[in-house]
Amino acid sequence: MQEENYDDDCMLTCSETYECPDHSLEWCEMTKCHDQCNDVVECYAEWTNTMGEYEAAPCADYWEEHDCADSDENEEGDSCDYQQCDS
């Protein structure tokens, strides 16, 4: 019976999804999820990238790609420092 109580205490609850701030993509949504077992709140994102492909990852990955795209648009000729730009 303790396992059942443990499972109840370790639920992952997520907020309603909301549109990603400051995005120019076709579609992007985020949600914040609370891991009650570890008392950690994490943000997750889902979006279509610039090639129209679906992606889902922690928000940090989305922001890295977002910042990379901004760098490419704002700094002609300069290479982006983010890993996702290396490929």
What's the pLDDT score for residue 74? 58
Stated pTM of the model? 0.67
Evaluate whether 83 touches 72 at the Cβ level (below 8 Å): no
Contact between 24 and 7 (Cβ < 8 Å): no
Answer for the pair 80, 71: CB distance below 8 angstroms, yes or no.
Answer: yes
- Would you give per-residue pLDDT tens digits along the chain (87 residues)? 333 444 556 788 999 999 999 888 889 999 999 998 899 999 999 999 888 899 999 999 999 988 887 776 655 544 455 455 554
Q: Parse the chain into domains and list their residue ranges.
A: 2-77
pLDDT at 17: 96
